[in-house]
Structure 1
Amino acid sequence: MIEFKDLGLSNDILNVLKDEGITTPTPIQEESILLIKEGNDIIAEAQTGTGKTLAFLLPMFENISPNENTIQGLIVTPTRELAIQITEEANKLTKAKSLNILAAYGGKDIGSQLNKLKGNVHLVIATPGRLLDHLKRGTINLHKLKTLVLDEADQMLLMGFKNEVEAIIKQIQKKPQTLCFSATMSSDVKKLAYRYTKNAKVVIIEKEEVTLKNIEQFVVETTDRRKQDALCRVLDEDNPFMAIIFCRTKRRVDDLEVALYQRGYNCQKIHSDVMQSKREKIMKSFRNCDIQYLIATDVAARGLDITGVTHIYNYDIPENAETYIHRIGRTGRAGEKGYTCLFVDPKDMHVLESIEKEIKFKIPRKII
């Protein structure tokens, strides 16, 4: 079995990983770290929750020089939540190597970001809009950039950031080492990846079908009018330790949070209209198990790797099997048992059939 020390990482980095209880590299880390350390461009496909963040952060930390007063690493990611999560991981690694990190995303005071940029920043973790804002102001200079990471490239395109990504790359004068990480590799993602990489090494981590085997799945057939009552009956029966409830839209999240709160459930919502400072507070409370139910949209929850989630409730049916797998994959991690319940009304039946066909499994119906 390969260990982190076999991947050419420094003792200081190895000690931090050991302190964090991270002992064995995941497949994406095992396949990518040495290739990135050696300066290769990478196009990598791996599911969310497989350890992609450390797969690029660890070799980046090895390759960045703290003595050079320039931005040497740039990670572009589609959502603020992902930017925060990557920054948290990167900050842990500063115990091994003293690098200055700037997180640049919307909803955070730009003044504090500008002040930090007056100092010596080595690594920038940013969402496309805020990064372009800095580039237009001339407050971020990418002339000496060594490594560019496009994280969750499929989501970046899905959220309409293609033009922003291209505008950002145009600002980089000398081609950097480019790392493109994505949960899926559609033709659009491949086009983007091959356009900006050179002689890239392709890393594909096969999707783990086994994860679904660890997850007990149920469907509750209901109507949209009776769905709320059906959900509450299931919640009362399950009384989960920590659960995420997925809704289709921000409006549906808002309405469900009000309804559940009025019924006495310990819940909070996250979506892109919730103020950034509040979202950070809510996510911290959820991770600390102070909140039992997190009600979210797919976009807000994308990429969030939260340990301890025991149940996933699909209040609204996801649009396809891939999104369904993404959602329920947040439970049943690391060999643990997971549980998910999907609420469908008559108009959803064709989507349910396509999901069942894709996962090759007829989901049992739960009678409530």
Structure 2
Amino acid sequence: MSEHPEITPSTDATFASLGFSAPTLAAVEAQGFERPTPIQAQTIPLMLAGRDLVAQAQTGTGKTAAYGLPLVERVDAARAEVQALILCPTRELAVQVSEALYAFGRPRRIRVVPIYGGQPIDRQIRALRAGAQIVAGTPGRLLDHIRRQTLDLTHVRTVVLDEADEMLAMGFVEDIETILRELPAERQTALFSATMPAPIARLSQRYLRDPSRITIAAHARAVPRIRQSYYQVPWSQKTDALFRVLDMEAPGPTIIFCGTKRVTEEVAEHLRGRGCLAEGLHGDLSQRDRDRVLRRFREGRVELLVATDVAARGLDIETVTHVINYDIPTDVESYTHRIGRTGRAGREGDAITLVTPRELRQLQFIARATRAEIKAMRLPSDADIALRRRELLKQSLVDVIEAGGLEPYLGAAMDLMKTHDPAQIAAAALKLLGAREDADGAATPPEVSAGARPEGGMGRLMLTMGRDEGLRPGDLVGAIANETGLPGQAIGAIDILDHHAFVEVPEAKADDVMRALERTTLRGQRVRVEKAPLGAEGDGSPAGRRAAPRMRRGAGGERSGVGHAAAGARPSRRPRVSGKGE
């Protein structure tokens, strides 16, 4: 095999400079990609030029876009013929690749069909007959279609072998060779593999023509001496996992890294919706907006900074306590850069990564390359979060004791000890402290989180009765339906806390429901009802600041955090997170 010199990508490369048409650039923009990764910067020009290539790169380096974007650029959308074929080792990867290429090709209406075992073959046959320009599939099922003559390879111009070493390990080499022999002789072939065992090297020598070789080197990198851990979660549960981690960690200033601008904005919006003081930082921001976000983060008016790698380049804020990789980084250099934002100036730091099952290989590669121990963690349960809250409450009392100035209260404490056990007094103080934290230190009923806004057309009411008084959701629904004639399906979300409850009803009926509930009794008790106060997130209003759980400074500047999920105060919904008020 004749090897062309390894290409060194320009650090200034952009997707626009790589030669894409306007529709493809529009797809790139829609995906929120900022700059090409190293594998993309090297691969895309060769793919666009029709060259054969062998690329050695780890999972998670952005190789799907490295070959996918050139494929959608080169296929003829006007021809309902299979023009590109992608071989994948597993059905999960075939589906993932198909979804990515469909998104890339949406502006040009390019059709992509995934072909894999476990799905009815007649459904795949119908999809192929409807016409598709790109097919991504597993070798076994692709061979089935070839033998049935339901997959026409006559017009295939490009074939991609994705994760070739995995297909080798799964025993697909013979199937791959059979498929390659069925393809037109005049074609472009691209092989991607994390490793290059001898059978894969022989395969490339036999079926690729004078290929260029691209290697994304895996150099060992030293990483800061900080605690590193990961949580394995399905993609669909990442947002919930992020909230649970924040509840458990009760962090100080934190940077949450995402892979694209789009995900950055989505995560920042979710955090703000839950009452967090969060801002996004990505390449679409003007320099003025970037400076504003960073200033607010440095000043503590923003607790959670959600950023892309490019936007956070060179960021140096000594007070960052945690880095959370919402998306796993694409390479070792990105990982070391990210986690290097914490543990600065001799401080301790934590780096936490959320990974899907498919991304474990990439994380293991990062761990080997950095010679770091990245500890597997179990996602916190509600009970874990409740226990954590109690620990933080205890630490808050210790902070107050160590800060001194308790003389005015010692007399009252001594009086209480005459009639009550000291342990009971301490427990009551903890319970009172937890309740007061939810109200930001004010002796008022807990206010609704900014993240719990009613849906459009609905009003939210607060009742002075809760779980400790025996109130159940059915009691509320029954009382409202019986007293107002409002059907049960018209009643919205219900949150029942210890001594208060919230219920959503149609805004036009809110006053009627309030009057009706105050005329009747719930479980034999009279209740007071009022419209729940709503503070817009981040507006500095009291309600906007008092969302729970809190992340605030304790005595001496240490971090403490308090959440709804205290013992005996488990919320009906997921605990909400918030930052300290501005």
Structure 2 residue aligned with 1:180? 191
Q: Would the aligned equivalents of 2:117 and 2:138 in 1 still touch at CA under 8 Å?
A: yes
Structure 2 residue aligned with 1:38? 49
Comparing 172-181 and 24-33, the one that deviates more: 172-181
* CA deviation after TM superposition for structure 1 residue 164, in Å: 0.9
* CA deviation after TM superposition for structure 1 residue 121, in Å: 1.2
Determine whether 1:207 maps to 2:195.
no
Query: Which one has a bigger Cα radius of gyration?
Result: 2
* Partner Cα separation in structure 2 for residue 18 and residue 9 of structure 1: 12
Q: Deviations over 1:187-228 (max 9, x none)?
A: 222111221100111111112534x7279577xxxxxxxxxx
Q: Would the aligned equivalents of 1:214 and 1:332 in 2 still touch at CA under 8 Å?
A: no
95, 103, 112: which one pairs with 1:92?
A: 103
Structure 1 residue aligned with 2:338? 336
Determine whether 1:22 maps to 2:28.
no
* Change in CA separation of 1:2 and 1:361 when aligned onto 2, cut-off 3 Å: closer
SS of the residue 2:99 aligns to? helix
* Partner Cα separation in structure 2 for residue 25 and residue 180 of structure 1: 19
* CA deviation after TM superposition for structure 1 residue 94, in Å: 2.4
Q: Would the aligned equivalents of 1:286 and 1:292 in 2 still touch at CA under 8 Å?
A: no
Structure 1 residue aligned with 2:150? 139
Structure 1 residue aligned with 2:209? 198
Q: Would the aligned equivalents of 2:88 and 2:138 in 1 still touch at CA under 8 Å?
A: yes
* CA deviation after TM superposition for structure 1 residue 30, in Å: 0.5
RMSD of aligned residue pairs (Cα, Å):
3.5
Determine whether 1:165 maps to 2:183.
no
Structure 1 residue aligned with 2:140? 129
66, 69, 84: which one pairs with 1:73?
A: 84
237, 243, 246: which one pairs with 1:286?
A: 237
User: Greater relative contact order (Cα 8 A, min sep 6): structure 1 or 2?
Assistant: 1
TM-score (norm 1): 0.63
* CA deviation after TM superposition for structure 1 residue 288, in Å: 4.8
Q: Would the aligned equivalents of 1:32 and 1:56 in 2 still touch at CA under 8 Å?
A: yes
* Partner Cα separation in structure 2 for residue 175 and residue 150 of structure 1: 17
Correspondence 1:296-311 to 2 at 5 A: none
* Change in CA separation of 1:135 and 1:331 when aligned onto 2, cut-off 3 Å: same
* Partner Cα separation in structure 2 for residue 155 and residue 174 of structure 1: 25
Determine whether 1:115 maps to 2:126.
yes
* Partner Cα separation in structure 2 for residue 72 and residue 365 of structure 1: 44
Q: Deviations over 1:298-346 (max 9, x none)?
A: xxxxxxx9999xxxxxxxxxxxxxxxxxxx9x85664433458xxxxxx
SS of the residue 2:73 aligns to? helix
Q: What residue identity is the alignment partner of 2:156?
A: L
* Partner Cα separation in structure 1 for residue 374 and residue 112 of structure 2: 48
212, 216, 232: which one pairs with 1:244?
A: 232
Q: Would the aligned equivalents of 2:220 and 2:370 in 1 still touch at CA under 8 Å?
A: no
**Among the aligned pairs, what percent are the same residue?**
32
Q: Deviations over 1:7-48 (max 9, x none)?
A: 100111112211221020011110011111111001111111
SS of the residue 2:232 aligns to? strand
Q: Would the aligned equivalents of 1:331 and 1:339 in 2 still touch at CA under 8 Å?
A: no
* Change in CA separation of 1:6 and 1:106 when aligned onto 2, cut-off 3 Å: same
Q: Would the aligned equivalents of 1:150 and 1:180 in 2 still touch at CA under 8 Å?
A: yes
Q: Would the aligned equivalents of 2:218 and 2:369 in 1 still touch at CA under 8 Å?
A: no
Q: What residue identity is the alignment partner of 1:286?
A: Q
* Change in CA separation of 1:11 and 1:204 when aligned onto 2, cut-off 3 Å: same
* CA deviation after TM superposition for structure 1 residue 365, in Å: 10
Unaligned runs of 5+ in 2: 1-11, 245-258, 265-324, 340-350, 354-364, 377-582
* Partner Cα separation in structure 2 for residue 56 and residue 62 of structure 1: 10
Q: Deviations over 1:270-306 (max 9, x none)?
A: xxxxxxxxxxxxx45334546999xxxxxxxxxxx99
TM-score (norm 2): 0.41
Structure 1 residue aligned with 2:431? none
Q: Deviations over 1:80-108 (max 9, x none)?
A: 11111111111111222111111001122
SS of the residue 1:149 aligns to? strand
* Partner Cα separation in structure 2 for residue 36 and residue 55 of structure 1: 8
* CA deviation after TM superposition for structure 1 residue 68, in Å: 2.0
* Partner Cα separation in structure 2 for residue 183 and residue 198 of structure 1: 21
* Partner Cα separation in structure 2 for residue 54 and residue 117 of structure 1: 23
SS of the residue 1:181 aligns to? strand
